[in-house]
Amino acid sequence: MGDAEIIPIGTRGRPGRGTGTQPSSAARGLAPKSPTKPATAATKASPRRAGPVTDPAAPAAPSEPTAPAAASTATRPPARTEERHPLAGVPGSDWLAAFQQAALEVFGEQWEPQLARFLAFLRRRVTGDYVVDEYGFDQEVTQRFFMAALRPIAEKWFRLEVRGIDNIPAEGGALVVSNHSGTIPVDGLMTMVTIHDQTGRFLRPLGADLVFQMPLVSSLARKGGATLACSEDAERMLRGGELVGVWPEGFKGIGKPYAERYKLQRFGRGGFVSAALRTGVPIVPLAVVGAEEIYPLVGNIPGLARVLGVPYLPITPFFPLLGPLGLVPLPSKWLLEFGEPIRTDDYEGGASEDPMLVFNVTDQVRETIQQTLYSLLMQRESVFR
């Protein structure tokens, strides 16, 4: 041998995978040197070794004197494998700089007080040092999180266009009555964001009892300001000067097939009108165009819906087919128009006990919304634009 220089590729020393008795070359490279072995191994120089590699099992290159090599290998501490954290080598000052840069990026020039304020907010949440009203409405978290999460959807995805926002009174109780559509009550959420952003008031929605039965939805609804749609709560809120939102079509409205879009369903039993009459607050009709197209409801599984205890189980062109991706709403263009407030305070005392009057006012509200829907549909260029 010695006529050709053999360069092992990828392994150090003898290549090989290792057998039962002989460890593999990679393992040999890792293993600590035993102090006795090099002394004996140093005598038989390995001709196949080439390159400046220190192999613990194999001796040093033949040209080297054997004695110093043996001595040095004997005193060398055993090689250890040590897991290195990928972030270990970064010095502290770099960390600080990066953190400051990030804070500057997120909070702007005044990052220190901003961050301190944010921390104070976090601490308030963590210590429970905040106030909820008697319906469980948590104003802080609604403003900071729910609205912030919904706002981009309203502005960028559905490109909401609002008309007649001045019809919402600046203060005092009022009842916003809207059409309901869209398979999932997204229209309610969008209305809440819009009213908050444009007027600074919080819309307090009235929800069906199913909302308060479902886990997670129930606690989110209460935190967001909703309460049960019953006459007691509606009147209590209106007397308290809140802006209350009601969708009298209920599940009939959001669960109607796509073919019946923009056709108002029955407006309940007119309970919302009685509540408004009893408290003397104005009724603001609201027509929402665009929500019908976000999840076009083309089918229903009534049997399974009954088993699950929900009013309907929707099938949209995308929903069970594309799985979770089908839950992304179609980006339809939305138009919201708040109509002229309908006054209820000039009726005499027992007006709410007069069913005929209640039905008449209900029909008036319903007709107003229906007409507004038709005119908005005429003005709309297309569903998505």
Partner 1 sequence: MAGDGRVVLVTGVSRDLGRKAARAIASEPDVARVIGVDVVPPRGDMGDVSFVRADIRNPVIAKVIAKEDVDTVVHMSVISTPGSAGGRNTMKELNVIGTMQLLAACQKAPGLRHLVVKSTTTVYGASNRDPAMFTEDMEPRRAPRAGYAKDVAEIEGYVRGLARRRPDLRVTLLRAANVIGPHVSSPITSYFRLPVLPTVLGFDARLQFLHQEDLLSVLRHSVVRDVHGTFNVAGDGILMLSQAARRLQRPTVPMPGFAVGGLGSFLRSARVADFSPEQLSFLTYGRGVDTTRMREVLGFEPRYTTAEAFADFGSRLPVTGGRSEKVLSALARQLPDPDARPRPETASDPAAVTAPGGARRG
CB of 207 to partner 1, least distance (A): 10
127 touches partner 1 by CB under 8 A: yes
141 touches partner 1 by CB under 8 A: no
Among candidate residues 162, 193, 169, the one with its CA nearest the CA of residue 341? 169
User: Contact with partner 1 (CB under 8 A): which of 45, 115, 162, 330?
Assistant: 115
CB of 222 to partner 1, least distance (A): 7
102 touches partner 1 by CB under 8 A: no
Give Cβ neighbours of residue 367 (< 8 Å, ≥ 6 apart). Answer: none
122 touches partner 1 by CB under 8 A: yes
- In one-letter notation, the amino acid at residue 263 is K
CB of 353 to partner 1, least distance (A): 18
| Residue 170 zone, left/alpha/beta (φ > 0; ψ -120 to 50; rest) | alpha
CB of 246 to partner 1, least distance (A): 15
Name the residue nearer to partner 1 (CB basis): 118 or 347: 118
CB of 120 to partner 1, least distance (A): 5
| Residue 240 zone, left/alpha/beta (φ > 0; ψ -120 to 50; rest) | alpha
Are 70 and 40 spatial neighbours (Cβ–Cβ below 8 Å)? Answer: no
143 touches partner 1 by CB under 8 A: no
- Angle formed by the axes of helices 111-127 and 92-107, to 10°? 90
Interaction residues for partner 1, span 174-233 (CB under 8 A): 209-210, 212-219, 222-223, 227-228, 230, 232-233
What are the start-end ranges of the H helices in 147-279?
147-152, 186-199, 217-223, 231-239, 251-254, 271-279
Among candidate residues 248, 276, 281, 274, the one with its CA nearest the CA of residue 366? 248
Among candidate residues 285, 261, 295, the one with its CA nearest the CA of residue 341? 285
Determine the distance from the C-alpha atom of residue 169 to the mean position of all C-alpha atoms in its chain, rounded to a whole number: 32
According to the 3-state scheme, what is the secondary structure of 96-131? HHHHHHHHHHHHCCCHHHHHHHHHHHHHHHHHCCCC
Name the residue nearer to partner 1 (CB basis): 83 or 129: 129
310 touches partner 1 by CB under 8 A: no
CB of 125 to partner 1, least distance (A): 8
- In one-letter notation, the amino acid at residue 156 is K
129 touches partner 1 by CB under 8 A: yes
User: Contact with partner 1 (CB under 8 A): which of 14, 54, 107, 133?
Assistant: 133
Give the pair of three-digit tokens for residue 188: 């309610």
Name the residue nearer to partner 1 (CB basis): 208 or 330: 208
Determine the distance from the C-alpha atom of residue 36 to the mean position of all C-alpha atoms in its chain, rounded to a whole number: 64
User: Contact with partner 1 (CB under 8 A): which of 25, 49, 70, 138?
Assistant: 138
Name the residue nearer to partner 1 (CB basis): 123 or 263: 123
Interaction residues for partner 1, span 230-269 (CB under 8 A): 230, 232-233, 236
CB of 253 to partner 1, least distance (A): 21
The site for partner 1 (CB under 8 A) is made up of 112-117, 119-120, 122-123, 125-136, 138, 209-210, 212-219, 222-223, 227-228, 230, 232-233, 236
